[in-house]
Structure 1
Amino acid sequence: MAPKIFIDGEHGTTGLQIVTRLSGRTDIDLMSMPAEQRRDADVRKAFLRDADIAILCLPDDAAREAVALAADAGTRFIDASTAHRTAPDWVFGFAELDPDQAGRIAKAQFVSNPGCYSTGAISLLAPLVARGILPADYPVTINAVSGYTGGGKQMIAQMEDASRDDAITAPHFAYALTLAHKHVPEIVVRGGLARKPVFTPAVGRFAQGMLVNVPLHLDLMADGVTVDAIFTALSEHYAASDVVEVAGPTDAAASIRLDPEELKGSDRLKLYVCANEDAGQVNLVASLDNLGKGASGAAVQNLDLMIRG
């Protein structure tokens, strides 16, 4: 019997993307709550408890409520909100985090889907911290730009409808200027950091795509660390992955520029090691689709791991 999959919040940006990806698949039974019953709490509870796996595309409080309604029924969860990303009893849904992570996801009842910015940052930081190349207390800074779809339906409408009173007309803007973005806790915990990074996110006037930059000084890293050692560490960490690609300093230098839309429509992740070794400086860059590996694509990847067990 095909596993029953329920997307709670299927009409939001992430939910709609997941529905599109799963529609037409014959190996699952995709459940959908009738539109006229979306606000019926009893119907929602029944769907959650009847599902084999529920994918939560909800605000944090609603996601916690959904888990409370159906966890005792044996329903397995993939939570795309920030509610459980640092919870010790939830498996972090970044399959490439370490060699055993995909197996943990496959067996878990509770899986937290990573955030888009944090996927990029953690993919760069965690392997280096784990190998002792990057000290856990390094004063990390992260600068990133995302497509506007990461802001959900309201921002999409503001960006795409210039006639609205609240339309966003800027071609690019920085935000979270109080340095308390919701992805910071998971970057700290899942990246293995001992201090909070200074994280400045931004939104550009393009729909999908993302670049996450982590600049580093070699003399503040472990003794003797070179650009080649950083590239080797990342390459070896992701060598078995068909999702993550690592481009070295030569490849990065050959690029005239990095395009945040490079992986638009893809579920892959590409990491660049950009360097000026004479200056002792490295800029690590993660390129991904904020709705692909950064959200819906990752959720489907985790779902497939859980289905196959």
Structure 2
Amino acid sequence: MVAKIFIDGEAGTTGLQIRERLENRRDLEVLSIAPDKRKDQGERKRLLNEADVAILCLPDDAARESVALIENGTTRVIDASTAFRVDPQWAYGFAEMDRGQAETISKARFVANPGCWPQGLIATLRPLIAAGLLPADFPVTYHGISGYTGGGKQMIAEYEAAGASASHFMPYALSFNHKHLPEMTVYTGLSHAPLFVPTVGDFAQGMTTFVPLQLGQLASAPKARDIHAAIADHYAGIKDSFVQVAPLEDIAKTPLLDPQSYNNTNRMQLHVFGNDERGQVVLAAVYDNLGKGASGAAVQNLNLMLGVDARESLAV
């Protein structure tokens, strides 16, 4: 049976990349809306209700509107906005988050695709809190660098217009009230929001994130090897995982942290660096903000929902 897929918002960055990943699939029929009818609510409603799975690549309010337009009880939804990410009625679409998360996604009618920045934090921190190595009230800071496509439509336009004069390194969200904070807090297991400082670089896509941990303040501080073992054990137990854990190494620098290392793939590579004498550890994640961070994750979730190979249409 050929599944009908409608990408609502297919003209945007995420929508275009999802369509590109699906274009050679024989098990799918991608429904398209005519360019002159993209704002025609009646036509969007028709396609949303005709689809087996609707993938929403829209701003939050428009995503909520699209969900409201679905009148049948069968169309399943993957939403790439932040509108439903902490809604308990929606499955969170980070398949490697827990050992049973892929199955939860496979059975869900509504799936909230995760944000690119939250995934690096959740991937590294959640296993440690679940294992009891870090308390839920541990003070966490989170930072990193992303290609300018990670900053949304307005930032993409600004960087492309600036050309050679674009900033090479620009921290943003310095009011510390980023829209990803609720999602980060809920799915890491933290009891309060982290201090989050994202930075955009003068490159289109790819990202590297960092979680520095001052473990010396804990009564019983875990060693770097304990931290690494807990993270490695978590992902070793997940079938068809796109998340890989690098070996624990005592090194001062590595080219493996290049944010563009895994561009155009759905891969995420995790690293642990530590100094036990100082009680300090840094957790790092490298992945494509448009791949595992957005369109790749959406296709992975689609595959799970359709019951096909999770790696279909996705490069590792």
TM-score by length of 2: 0.92
Q: Secondary structure at the match of 1:30?
A: strand
Question: What displacement does 1:222 show?
Answer: 6.5
What is the CA–CA distance in structure 2 between the aligned matches of 1:70 and 1:222, rounded to whole Å? 53
Q: Does residue 143 of structure 1 match 2:140?
A: no
Residue 184 of structure 2 corresponds to: 187
Change (3 A) 1:261 1:113: same
Q: Does residue 125 of structure 1 match 2:122?
A: no
What is the CA–CA distance in structure 2 between the aligned matches of 1:41 and 1:129, rounded to whole Å? 44
Residue 312 of structure 2 corresponds to: none
Residue 247 of structure 2 corresponds to: 248
Change (3 A) 1:55 1:222: farther
Question: Which aligned pairs between 1:291-306 and structure 2 lie closer than 5 A?
Answer: 291-306=290-305
Contact 1:138 1:221 in 2 (8 A): no
When the two structures are aligned, how many residues end up with a matched partner?
306
Q: Secondary structure at the match of 2:277?
A: helix
What is the CA–CA distance in structure 1 between the aligned matches of 2:71 and 2:115, rounded to whole Å? 23
Alpha-carbon deviations, 1:28-85, whole Å to 9, x = none? 1111111121111100000001111000000101111111111544210000000000
Residue 35 of structure 1 corresponds to: 35
Residue 235 of structure 1 corresponds to: 232
User: Residue type matched to 2:174 in 1?
Assistant: L
What is the CA–CA distance in structure 2 between the aligned matches of 1:194 and 1:71, rounded to whole Å? 37
What is the CA–CA distance in structure 1 between the aligned matches of 2:265 and 2:52, rounded to whole Å? 27
Alpha-carbon deviations, 1:217-253, whole Å to 9, x = none? 2223472411111000000000145411111331765
Q: Does residue 82 of structure 1 match 2:79?
A: no
Residue 289 of structure 1 corresponds to: 288
Question: What displacement does 1:159 show?
Answer: 1.6
Alpha-carbon deviations, 1:270-293, whole Å to 9, x = none? 101011222110000111100000
What is the CA–CA distance in structure 2 between the aligned matches of 1:31 and 1:222, rounded to whole Å? 57
1:174 to 166, 171, 175: 171
Contact 2:216 2:278 in 1 (8 A): no
Contact 2:96 2:241 in 1 (8 A): no
Q: Secondary structure at the match of 2:273?
A: strand
Change (3 A) 1:252 1:295: farther
Change (3 A) 1:131 1:8: same
- What is the RMSD of the two structures over their aligned residues, measured on CA atoms? 1.7
Change (3 A) 1:14 1:231: same
Residue 205 of structure 1 corresponds to: 202
Identity, in percent, stands at 53
Change (3 A) 1:95 1:182: same
Question: What displacement does 1:302 show?
Answer: 0.1
Question: What displacement does 1:99 show?
Answer: 0.8
What is the CA–CA distance in structure 1 between the aligned matches of 2:71 and 2:232, rounded to whole Å? 38
User: Residue type matched to 1:272 in 2?
Assistant: H
Residue 217 of structure 1 corresponds to: 214
What is the CA–CA distance in structure 2 between the aligned matches of 1:33 and 1:304, rounded to whole Å? 23
What is the CA–CA distance in structure 1 between the aligned matches of 2:218 and 2:7, rounded to whole Å? 43
User: Residue type matched to 2:186 in 1?
Assistant: V
Alpha-carbon deviations, 1:94-138, whole Å to 9, x = none? 000111100000000000000000011100111111111111000
Question: What displacement does 1:257 show?
Answer: 6.6
Residue 68 of structure 2 corresponds to: 68
User: Residue type matched to 1:188 in 2?
Assistant: T
Change (3 A) 1:63 1:253: same
What is the CA–CA distance in structure 1 between the aligned matches of 2:9 and 2:181, rounded to whole Å? 24
Question: What displacement does 1:160 show?
Answer: 2.4
Structure 1: gaps of 5 or more residues: none
Point out the more displaced range, 240-249 or 109-118.
240-249
TM-score by length of 1: 0.94
Q: Secondary structure at the match of 2:70?
A: helix
Change (3 A) 1:168 1:41: farther
Residue 263 of structure 1 corresponds to: 262
